[in-house]
A and B are shown apart, each in its own frame.
Chain A
Amino acid sequence: MDSRLNKIMREAGGLITGPRRIFPLVGKVAHDRATCISSSRNLYSYATTRRPSAESLSALVNWILRAQRSNGGIAAYYSLFSGYSESYPEVTGYIVPTLYDFALLAHSDSARGAAERATNWLLSLQLSSGAFPAGLHGRSAAPSVFNTGQILQGLVRSWTETNRPEICDAAFAAADWLLSVQSVDGSWPTAYQDAPHTYYSMVAWSLAQLSECTGNQRYGLAAERNLDWVLKHIQPGGWIDGINLRGHPSYLHFVAYIIQGVLECALLRHRKDAVQAISAPAWILLRKFETAKHLPGAFDHSFASGRRFTCLTGNAQMSCVWLRLFDGSRSQDLRIEGSCDLRYLNAALKMNESLKPLLPTRGSDGVVGGVAGSYPIWAPYQPFRYISWGCKFFADALMLEQRLLTSLEASACAS
């Protein structure tokens, strides 16, 4: 309660130190109120392209580049009350692959440079144990399993891009620490709020990536132990238990984390059973989106209990999941019935269309091209903030969309 009060006080204090922020804040609230009333979603709303994907992708990456602080870290968010936050190690870590992907796609030196600066900053934060600290920069020195896992993604990618030995050492040290605190059952019990969480499948994905890059099966097997632990939490109706976050509903962002982590880990480890198991909740969410034209922003312990707001980050993550389910299961050894299915691609395309118009085209640096936590802006997930991980996931989705469509169109033309 105290921390929530502190958060409110800090945000309110932002308006006192920057009173000019009141105008964009009121403008955004009025805009979202008006669009909530006037827009009616329907079968055809998202079936056509109204804003080119390349334009949206560029806006998203520019938002991320502007959010990079002078120390090289990337801010967690831009608040309509208080402006940019401090650098956020966790997000900086897993934004690194996005920046490298964009650099390759758009031949962008600025994105590559930003990825390198971000990596250097991350290296400076690593604790002697190999772990990375929790929370925003400077708030805590306590080691964090989740942050270490997410940062490991960035380290692995930076290493493959640059071959710098110190990055390789840092990645091994981080992974060794993760293995040292992993329970025999595959979970991480001493994690955030002293409970194991199924969305730590994202950590398993990082370990699987390291294993894939280095050929060291120790990390891959540890990833699979966590995968098996998470799979035990999938209910017959498709819901996944074990998010275990006290004080919050199960935001779509966390549900999508679980699915994304399991899927990516399963694809890397060639675990057809896990791809099949995780495609059940992914399909339930696809059907929900296709029939209702939106996904609930949060759930209360079942997919039937959706809350009526939109968690934009979660939507972008689900787009990534559907695209990867379409893409990843094209390999014969992972093909499961119904998985190599254009309906996944179709849903992702429409999800991306639904998100593009929500990227602001006018406003301050922290607003233009940003992905808000929630739609409408005052809804409970990261209210009144544009968040860097939202931009990351949506940029990932648009890059994946471009790659898959190009390949699909080429194969259609060839035949």
Chain B
Amino acid sequence: MRIVVLSSSVYSETACAIVSHLCALDYPPLAVLSLRTFDPATILRKVAQWGLRDAVRYAQTRLGPRTPASLHNVYLAPFLSHRGHPVRSLREIAEVPITFCKNQNSEKSLAFLKNCAPDLIVFAGGNILRQPLLDIPRLGVINLHLGLLPDVRGMSAPEWSLLNSVPLGITIHYMDRGIDTGPILLRRELPDPALSSSLENLRNRLIAFGVEQLGPVILGLDRGTISPAPQAVLDRDLQHFVIHQRLRDLAALRLQQLRSSPAPVRVRA
């Protein structure tokens, strides 16, 4: 199967883990289309958006590879190796060529992707994808969502799941024009969510769990044993938005309660 991976940076841990994992499964991507690692305009925009401190942290994740000790997501460590060597940058996976772009929806990017003629695109970060790109692969573009669809669409999915007492889990689905409204390929609850020590820890565990679950999906698609299921509830607006810090704190409290008493407790609205 011809697979292309979209990434936000060559140093993206998630993208590195996905590409390494695909190689390990014997489905090496034929290319990675990554956003430029250093884009001054993006960095400046982040300074304006987040302030200097957070922008510097962002720049650090974009501009340089991480050492094993400085891994942001330690749960990805099992996936971050290739032929026995640790992978901290997509450049370290020699057989997968990387093409850089400023925008994954640009004419140039679309021409590149059409030339690749992929069966499948795996979205591991980057721009909001437009329809012309979504139309390119034979099967479609798949995305790893950190919540169970259709209950929690959109941003801050783990936090909203906690607040709305929706089980924690991941969904791998085809992308379409809506926000997380595409047909579902796989939906799995996270085993032992109560083991998560913090929201960040929970998010990292969900990402690693999702990367692991990509394996059965790719195999299933290749062998034709998996078929996409359209989402049941398309009429209701279930999109969630970036969560405010105060509600995030409540979600953290909920997680803490989950750790001490795994029985579902609803944050009474």
Using a CB–CB cutoff of 8 Å, the interface residues on chain A facing chain B are 38-40, 42-49, 283, 287, 290-291, 326, 330, 337-338, 340-343, 345-347, 349-350, 353, 405, 408-409, 411-413, 415
Contact = CB atoms under 8 A, between A and B. Distances in A.
Interface of B: 45, 48-50, 155, 160, 163-164, 236-237, 239-248, 250, 253-254, 257, 265-269
A346 B244 contact: yes
Given A43-B155, A338-B236, A343 B254 contact: no
A47 B246 CA distance: 9
A409 B242 CA distance: 19
For the residues of A in contact with B, the DSSP-based class is: helix
B49 A340 contact: no
Contact of B243 (A47, A405, A409, A411): A47
Given A40-B48, A349-B247, A342 B269 contact: yes
Nearest to B44: A40
A47 B244 contact: yes
B166 to A, nearest CB: 12
B49 A412 contact: no
Contacts of B266: 415
Contacts of B269: 326, 330, 340-342, 408
A338 B237 contact: yes
Nearest to B155: A43
A38 B254 CA distance: 38
Contacts of A38: 48
B80 to A, nearest CB: 27
Contacts of A338: 236-237
Given A38-B48, A43-B155, A44-B50, A412 B240 contact: no
A110 B243 CA distance: 37
B237 A283 contact: yes
Nearest to A348: B244
Contact of B246 (A337, A343, A349): A349
Given A38-B48, A45-B49, A342-B269, A412 B254 contact: yes
B16 to A, nearest CB: 24
A293 to B, nearest CB: 10
B49 A42 contact: yes
B242 A44 contact: yes
A45 B246 CA distance: 14
Given A40-B49, A412-B254, A343 B241 contact: yes
B244 A350 contact: yes
Contacts of A330: 269
Name the residue in B48, B155, B160, B246 with the highest tally of chain A Cβ atoms < 10 Å from its Cβ: B246
Given A342-B247, A342-B267, A345-B247, 15 more contacts: A40-B45, A43-B241, A43-B242, A47-B245, A338-B236, A342-B160, A342-B164, A346-B243, A346-B244, A408-B267, A411-B268, A412-B267, A412-B268, A413-B253, A415-B265
Given A290-B241, A408-B267, A415-B268, A49 B48 contact: no
A326 B268 CA distance: 12
Q: Report which residue of B164, B236, B242, B269 has the largest number of chain A beta carbons within 10 angstroms of its beta carbon.
A: B269
